Amino acid sequence: MSTFHPPRIRKRLLPDCSPSDRESALDLAGCASFEYTSEDREHLLENILDDCIGPGGTCWSGSRADVTESLIIAFDALQTVSRVIYEVEESQSERTQQIRIELSEDSGKTYRTVLNQEYTFSPHGATFQREDIRLAASVVTHIRLTVFPNKTGSGKATLISLRLYP
């Protein structure tokens, strides 16, 4: 009886590619100020920076239904941004939410779009989305997120988490 012996190969385990620990992320609370159009008193802007991420995590929500909301992150000093990770969720109603991310290199005078993404949510289907975007931006002064909550359907602008990496 012959015993199978798999071929010997050289191998090594790769490190996890998704930065799950906050140590490598920019400390946004410490290096930037936030401007926003509105926030629900039960879903404050601070929630996007806490550790309650993933489905069911805490979130920021605009205070007004069916109104486009904006968040602007104004850095205290020039920043390099190579990666943006954010999460969105909607489990209550069927709707399509769009997020636009723009960068400014001139103190918010002009912006260039780096992402325009739509998410169609359905309580009986897709309710959560995590995006991991690679960028090559070395002199960022501001980042603007514009959230269109109701491309179809009805709801408030929401965002569970936001992480930026140098």
CA–CA distance, 115 with 92 (Å, rounded to integer): 26
Are 48 and 163 in contact by the 8 Å Cβ rule? The answer is no
The count of other CB atoms within 10 Å of the CB of residue 81 is 21
Are 120 and 96 in contact by the 8 Å Cβ rule? The answer is yes
Q: Chunked in runs of 10, what are the mean pLDDT values of the chain (166 residues)?
A: 75 59 83 96 96 93 96 97 95 92 97 94 90 92 96 92 96
The count of other CB atoms within 10 Å of the CB of residue 109 is 9
Q: What is the pTM of this model?
A: 0.84
The count of other CB atoms within 10 Å of the CB of residue 6 is 5
Which conformational region is residue 104 in: left (phi greater than 0), alpha (psi within -120 to 50 degrees), or beta?
Answer: beta
The whole-number pLDDT of residue 14 equals 64
| CATH class belonging to 32-165 | mainly beta
The whole-number pLDDT of residue 139 equals 93
CA–CA distance, 60 with 49 (Å, rounded to integer): 10
The whole-number pLDDT of residue 35 equals 97
The whole-number pLDDT of residue 19 equals 45
